[in-house]
A and B are shown apart, each in its own frame.
Chain A
Amino acid sequence: MRSVRRCAAISLAATAALTLAACGGGGSASSTGSAHVTLTWWNNATAGTLKNVWQQAATAFHQAHPNVTIQVEPIQNEAFTTKVPAALAGNDPPDIYQQWGGGQEATQVPSGKVTDLSKYTSSWIGEIGTAAQGWQVDGKQYGVPYDLHTVGFWYRKDLFTKAGIASPPATITALDADVTKLKAAHIVPIAVGSKDKWPDAFWWEYFAVRECSTATLKSAMKAVNLSNPCFLKAGRDLTSFMNTKPFQTGFLGTAAQVGAGSSAGLVGNGQAAMELQGDWDPGVMAPLTSDKNLNAQLGWFPFPTVSGGAGAATTVLGGGDGFSCTTGAAEPTCADFLKYLDTPAVQAKVVSSDVGLPANSAAASALTMPALKQVLQYSHSVTYIQTYFDTAFPTSVGQALDAAIADFFAGQGTPQSIIAAVKASASQ
């Protein structure tokens, strides 16, 4: 009997505790002023050099501001997809989190948990240049980039030489000819990681960037509308390009960045001659191959021009990585920290970890790889940076576009079906 009663008491206590826990919660409000401030920082650097760079940055910021502690919490890149919505819906989001800007950021802003940083950043954001606009929503700065990206072709000089290709192609016609030459030399011309969908999207998007004028691109992004015929032409260009069968066998099942069998791994190990990818690709390839001399073998060229296309050859597809602060974070401390990440000293370290081009071009000299210097030089000469469509569009539309392009790569779509998918998703 006694034990029964004690048990009953315990379960009553447990019930009460649960109820209390449910009612309580939340409440790690960061203090302001001279009191001690802790900022939790969700970033995607779970491995490699960048992880150390961020840790060093957090430590250095703490040393300069002893009342501020930055708690670094690296989170696997893909986990942000589920963690950020959950965090912004809850009462206790991280103070700083990974932000890719564009339509995704615009989708997050209505949560009311993302801080408008405009008044803190207005004095210095000019140093970043026009790229910072990618992290604005309705002209307000809700995020700050720490690196910028440019998509183009990474190719292996040794395989090009072997196939008798003297210089990288400047036009699609020349690219077609090079594909033929590489095939004749029994070399896989181009690797693509179709399993991940977004690498497929790069292809369609770049044809669109070459076929459509800058004004058309800008208005299409704003209106979330691809009705201009140039987007249909992009699909037709892609159809005829894919008819040359330029990709590796079984590309539909190939991942982009994971494992030696990924598209990055194939190029890194000399099993394919080139890949249309972001500037981060050498950094992705390095751990996937034992070739220590890889960087010397890699060359870069921009997406070739399409004859008759309305797009300028100086237009580039790109994007970048950045951070946002949430409304619970102490200001201006959080904004100050983001500013600190864009100072030339930190930027130089970011750049040396091969993750991308510096957001602050003052750190450009820290780039060591010749091909990356070439990418940076090219990106400074461009007249317009078109953000990846899936990031520029609202997230649901961007994902629908990626899926439609991936279906197209799998032979389950037409140039029209890509346009139709965007239209259907945008009208939902």
Chain B
Amino acid sequence: MTHAETAAATATNDEPAVAAVQSPRSARRPRGLRRTAELVLFLSPALLLFVGFVLLPIVLAAFDGLYNWTGFGPLGRFTGLHNYALVLTDPVFREAFTHNVIIAVASIALQLPIGFGIALLLNRRIRGRSVVRMLAFAPFVLPYATTAVMWSLLLQPGGFVDQIMKQIGLGRLVQLWLANLHLVLYTMIVVLTWQFFGFAMLLMLAGLQGIPAELREAAALDGASGWQTTWHITLPLLGPTIRIWMFLSIVGSLQVFDQVFIITGGGPANASATMATYLYQRGFASYEFGYGSAIAVIMFIICFAFALIYQRFVLRRDTRGALTRAVG
């Protein structure tokens, strides 16, 4: 869900509408007026939805965060930025944020090579290609809750995972996957990787299809080895795809909730807590809606700041190219 949302968000960020307004400079005035009228008409439903369901809730949440509000009745005591300060100084929130960052880094470190490797493999004509493609993509299509319930059963002490490890002679490595405070976060990373590597694979596979075969052929004629072609031709040309995937992956990692909440609830002792599980625990379960709103706003600011910085420094060359082509 988060991926779809962020994908939609990035799509709107390219601002094709602005480009469209500016382009017909030569048009006479009545036509320009009419065009504006049309734009207002066409954009107003989307704009209304955007303001009503995106901007307004954010503003309201920021406002609610200023109050000590239980979620029932009037807003209660005005506490200024107290809630925000409390969130930022709460060791549990800091721990949760660190976990989000670890998940984001690990997601890229694991899913990028796995996704790229499988995409390369599936880009060739091999037997059973569509079956492998389907299998690799299947985890991503599963509802998050289903994945979570499935893994929490597999990871029970003495459960399926432990039994398999014993069968293949790795019995000594069996751990308390969900109960070990030092391990549980990494268990969650394995589950998240399992769920999402198919998405990386799919995007990169699509990217690979867009790379002309002639380039690889030419490189091969010039005597480049398979490894060299992949490293110097394929990977750079896949750059835009990888960069947009990394963006989606990091934003998804910052917002991860479902799997963690169902498998561990963020525990034991917050060892697997994320910002979103912390938000649920304090905002909803504890009826601290003012405090919860403050957490949500801080989460939003973190994600938004990341998105802006990433767009400015990483995605700029990709989106710029796309825009010039669309306008020109």
Q: Do A and B share a complex?
A: yes
Please, which residue of chain B has its CB at the minimum distance from the CB of A111?
Answer: B72
Contact A249 to B157, CB < 8 A, known contacts A85-B72, A110-B72:
yes
What residues of chain A lie closer than 8 Å to B184, measured between beta carbons? 253
Docked-complex contact B45 and A18, CB < 8 angstroms: yes
Contact A8 B267 (CB under 8 A): no
Q: Distance in Å from the Cβ of A331 to the closest Cβ of chain B?
A: 21
Contact assessment for A395 and B286 in the assembled complex, using a CB-CB cutoff below 8 Å: yes
Interface with B: A293-301, A335-343, A405-413, which one? Answer: A405-413
B230 on the A face (CB < 8 A): no
Bin the interface of chain A by size: 35 or more
Q: Which residues of B contact A196 (CB under 8 A)?
A: 265
Contacts of A194 in B (CB 8 A): 267-268
Contacting B at CB under 8 A, from A392-428, are 394-396, 399-400, 403, 406-407, 409-413, 428
In the complex, which residues of chain B have a beta carbon less than 8 angstroms from the beta carbon of A157?
none
- CB <8 Å contact, B157 and A252: no
Known pairs A88-B72, A250-B178, A428-B68; A8 contacts B48 (CB<8 A): no
Which of the residues B49, B73, B176, B178 comes within 8 Å of A111, measured between beta carbons?
B73
By the criterion CB–CB under 8 Å, are A4 and B38 in contact?
yes
Pairwise interchain contact B176-A253, C-beta atoms closer than 8 A:
yes
Complex partner residue of A107 from B68, B284, B287, CB under 8 angstroms: B287
Determine whether the beta carbon of A396 is less than 8 Å from that of B287.
Answer: yes
Question: Are B176 and A249 in touch, CB under 8 angstroms?
Answer: yes
A239 CB to closest chain B CB, in angstroms?
16
* Residue interface bits B172-215, CB-to-A below 8 A is 1, else 0: 00001111010010000000000000000000000000000000
| A89-B268 CB under 8 A given contacts A81-B285, A395-B286 | no
Interface residues of A in 23-61 (CB under 8 A from B): none
Cα(A369)–Cα(B87), bound, Å: 49
Q: Give residues 346-386 of A contacting B (CB, 8 Å).
A: none
Cβ–Cβ contact A85 & B287, under 8 A: yes
Question: Looking across the interface, which residue of chain A has its beta carbon closest to that of B82?
Answer: A428
- Chain B residues near A110 (CB-CB < 8 A): 70, 72-74
A residues in contact with B178, CB < 8 Å = 195, 250, 252-253
A242 to B183, CA, bound (A): 22
Question: Given that A89-B72, A110-B72, A249-B176 are contacting pairs, would A82 and B269 also be in contact in the complex, using a CB cutoff of 8 Å?
Answer: no
Report whether B286 and A252 are in contact in the complex, using a CB–CB cutoff of 8 Å. Answer: no
A195 and B264 contact, CB distance less than 8 A? yes
CB distance from B290 to the nearest CB of A (A): 10
Contact status of A22 and B52, CB under 8 A, knowing A15-B44, A111-B72, A111-B73: yes
Q: Is the CB of A8 within 8 A of B49?
A: no
Q: Which of B151-186 contact A (CB under 8 A)?
A: 152-153, 155-157, 159, 176-179, 181, 184
Across the interface, name the chain A residue whose C-beta is closest to B181. A410
Q: In this assembly, does B8 line the interface, its C-beta being within 8 Å of a C-beta of chain A?
A: no
- Which A residue sits closest to B92, measured CB to CB? A403
The complex places the Cα of A104 from the Cα of B73 at a distance, in Å, of 14
- A15: contacting residue among B48, B71, B267, B287, CB under 8 A: B48
A409, B72: Cα distance in complex, Å? 32
B289 at the interface (CB under 8 A from A): yes
Judged by a CB distance under 8 angstroms, whether B41 is at the interface is: yes
Is the CB of A19 closer than 8 A to any CB of chain B? yes
A407 with B72: CB separation less than 8 A = no
Contact between chains at A396 and B286 (CB < 8 Å): yes
Q: Across the interface, which residues of B come within 8 angstroms of A177, CB to CB?
A: none
Quick one: closest A residue to B74, CB to CB?
A: A110
Q: Least Cβ distance of B102 to chain A in Å?
A: 19
User: Does any Cβ of B come within 8 Å of A169's Cβ?
Assistant: no
Q: Which of B44, B177, B268 meets A195, CB within 8 Å?
A: B268
Q: When the two chains form their complex, are residues A395 and B267 in contact, meaning their CB atoms are under 8 A apart? A: no
Residues of A within 8 A of B157 (CB): 248-250, 253, 261
Contact B45 A250 (CB under 8 A): no
A156 at the interface (CB under 8 A from B): no
Contact B284 A253 (CB under 8 A): no
Docked-complex contact A410 and B267, CB < 8 angstroms: yes
Is the pair A8, B42 in contact by a Cβ cutoff of 8 Å?
yes
A259 within 8 A of B: yes
Contact B176 A15 (CB under 8 A): no
Residues in A whose Cβ lies below 8 Å from that of B285: 81, 395, 399
From A89, A252, A406, A407, contact of B71 by CB (8 A): A89
A253 in contact with B264 (CB, 8 Å): yes
- 17 more contacts with CB within 8 A, not counting A395-B287, A399-B281, are A11-B42, A110-B70, A110-B72, A111-B72, A112-B73, A195-B265, A248-B157, A249-B176, A250-B178, A250-B179, A252-B267, A253-B177, A395-B285, A399-B285, A406-B269, A409-B268, A410-B268
Q: List 28 A-B pairs, Cβ < 8 Å.
A: A11-B45, A12-B44, A18-B45, A18-B49, A22-B52, A81-B284, A82-B284, A85-B287, A107-B70, A107-B72, A107-B287, A110-B70, A112-B73, A195-B265, A197-B267, A249-B157, A250-B157, A252-B176, A252-B178, A253-B155, A254-B179, A259-B152, A395-B70, A395-B287, A406-B268, A407-B269, A428-B68, A428-B86
